[in-house]
């Protein structure tokens, strides 16, 4: 399990600044988000120069949109293993049978295209999309029927520990990367320190064994808080490996 961050954590920072921060925090991986995309080859150089790898390309591609191939090209140029995509903009409860068939077909096509570039596709695990819970996630991935399709995972808001464990167990073996963000109980975008749920995150990561555990958003958006969260993540990893 590689430890890293997703660059959207620091939208106001340059790519060079983000890579420096990740390196200084002792992390090894970056998910470059489309927000920071300039020339992919330049991003790859910045990543390498700071002793890091690009583990994924966090695209803003939604199933149903055209030109997935350009996202696969960018992912390959970055040297990343997977391209993060979004499972449409309709939740399962509002998705008709016809809409689902189109979504699964689009995912199958994207995965087939990605395979031609030697990469995988990973669905963002997020409300307001079809991929917002384990049952729906498995239904969509299985319907698409390609071996290079995976899902991300992140704790939902509001979060229930026991339900999260159940969801993770259902998705066993299908989760590629984890986004680690920690909202307060009152507001989703009111981020608090990872340390406040250290025990829970330890159990999540122990079960998932993701390729990459990526910090996403920190309290106050501050560099200092990021370093504290990175230390917490390092401690979690040490606990898992004991």
**pLDDT tens digit sequence for 80-122:** 999 999 999 999 999 999 999 999 999 999 999 999 999 999 9
31: Cα separation from own chain's centroid: 8
Question: Domain 2-240 is classified in which CATH homologous superfamily?
Answer: Divalent-metal-dependent TIM barrel enzymes (3.20.20.150)
d(CA 229, CA 235): 10
Residue 35 has pLDDT above 80, yes or no: no
Mean per-residue pLDDT, 176-204: 95
% the chain with pLDDT above 70: 99
pLDDT grade for 185, boundaries at 50, 70 and 90: confident
Residues 155, 119: contact at Cβ < 8 Å?
A: no
Q: Residues 180-196, buried b or exposed e (16+ Cβ, 10 A)?
A: bbbbeeeeeeebbebbe
Residue 40 — pLDDT band, cuts 50, 70, 90? Answer: confident
User: Does the pLDDT at position 152 exceed 90?
Assistant: yes
93 vs 74: CA distance, rounded Å: 33
Report pLDDT digits (tens) over 157-172.
Answer: 999 999 999 999 999 9
* Domain residue spans of the chain: 2-240
How many C-alpha atoms does 53 have within 13 Å on its Cβ side? Answer: 14
User: Is residue 36 scored above 70 in pLDDT?
Assistant: no
* 66, pLDDT greater than 80: yes
**Taking all residues of the chain, what is their mean pLDDT, rounded to a whole number?**
96
Task: Give the separation between CA 8 and CA 216, rounded to whole angstroms.
Answer: 7
Residue 207 pLDDT level (bands cut at 50, 70, 90): very high
| pLDDT score at 95 | 98
């Amino acid at each position: 399990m590689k430890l890293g961050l997703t660059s959207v954590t620091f939208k106001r920072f340059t790519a060079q600044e983000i890579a420096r921060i990740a390196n200084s925090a002792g992390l090894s991986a970056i998910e470059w988000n489309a927000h920071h995309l300039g020339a992919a080859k330049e991003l790859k150089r910045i990543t390498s120069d700071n002793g890091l790898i690009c583990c994924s390309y966090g695209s803003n591609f939604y199933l149903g949109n055209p030109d997935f191939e350009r996202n696969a090209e960018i992912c390959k140029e970055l040297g990343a293993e997977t391209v993060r995509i979004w499972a449409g903009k309709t939740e399962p409860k509002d998705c008709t049978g016809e809409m689902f068939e189109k979504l699964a077909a689009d995912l199958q096509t994207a995965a087939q295209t990605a395979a031609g570039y030697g990469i995988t596709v990973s669905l963002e695990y997020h409300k307001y999309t079809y991929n917002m819970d384990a049952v729906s996630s498995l239904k969509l991935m299985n319907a698409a029927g390609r071996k290079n399709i995976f899902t991300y995972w992140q704790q939902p808001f509001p979060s229930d520990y026991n339900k999260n464990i159940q969801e993770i167990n259902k998705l066993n073996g299908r989760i590629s990367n984890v986004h680690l963000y920690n909202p307060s109980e009152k507001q989703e975008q009111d981020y608090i320190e990872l340390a406040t749920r250290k025990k829970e995150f330890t159990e999540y990561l122990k079960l998932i064994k993701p390729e990459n555990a990526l910090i996403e958003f920190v309290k106050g958006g501050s560099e200092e808080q990021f370093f504290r969260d990175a230390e917490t993540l390092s401690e979690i990893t040490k606990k898992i490996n004991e």
